[in-house]
Amino acid sequence: MSAETILEVQQVSKIYKSAGKELLVLKEIDFSIQQGSTVAITGPSGSGKTTLLGICAGLDRASSGSVALNNIKLDGLTEDERAAVRNLYVGFIFQNFQLMPTLTALENVMVPMELRKQKDVKARAMELLDKVGLADRSHHYPVQLSGGEQQRVSLARAFSNRPAVLFADEPTGNLDGETGEKIEKMLFELNREAGTTLIIVTHDMDLASRTSRVIKLKSGTVIADTYAGV
């Protein structure tokens, strides 16, 4: 892995076993992603997009092959070790927001920084909420926020620990078109400002077209890997 490569996936396959049968979800996936790039992983439902994202982020293990994130091989790590890698280097944005319902917007953004025992977490969290236009909603709970507002809190939380890689799984999938466009704009602006590597799983080709590279899956294999303008 070169110094500029933030994620390297080599011959990754994933097999699920159920009722004595095997289901091949990913087959010998190979690619590397450069630091600071923006990449979309696309494909129809059932193509393996979310499974691949989970393996790349260390949330799941491959059945075979290897994944290196920020020069750390994830394959032989324990669950606790992989969690530590995620805490240090990874941010997440999910389709269903995954905010903690008993915490305010401000507290949700503070959590990743508190886990890393950072200083001035409240000030940093307020700064990020201000960037996503929610400074005046900082003490509201998720149930008091609209879907778009919840996803903006999720954006602020994702960037709070200055991740090396941000994984976004259908980040606008639960939002209407206009709200989704606002979230996309904020996501790319925050990403550009932070210099983070952004990897988005999406079936939205308009969203995918905003990235510098699109990796397309079908039936668990890469069928296209194209760069902007190519």
Tens digits of per-residue pLDDT, 194-227? Answer: 999 999 999 888 899 999 999 999 999 999 999 9
Backbone angles phi, psi at 89, to 5 degrees: -125, -10
pLDDT at residue 172 in the model: 87
- Cα separation, 104 vs 107, whole angstroms: 5
> What is the enclosing helix (H) or strand (E) of 168?
strand 165-169
Domain with 223, as residue range(s), is 5-227
Q: Which residues contact 159 (CB under 8 A, 6 or more apart)?
A: 91, 128, 166, 190, 194, 196
- Cα separation, 101 vs 180, whole angstroms: 22
Q: For residue 98, is pLDDT > 50?
A: yes
Q: Are 103 and 141 in contact (CB under 8 A)?
A: yes
- Cα separation, 148 vs 29, whole angstroms: 34
pLDDT at residue 229 in the model: 53
Tens digits of per-residue pLDDT, 175-192? Answer: 888 888 999 999 999 999
Overall pTM > 0.85: yes
Of the pLDDT bands very low, low, confident and very high (cuts 50, 70, 90), residue 230 is: very low
Provide the CATH number for the domain around residue 24. Answer: 3.40.50.300
- In this structure, which amino acid lies at residue 122? K
Q: For residue 2, is pLDDT > 80?
A: no
How many structural domains does the chain have?
Answer: 1
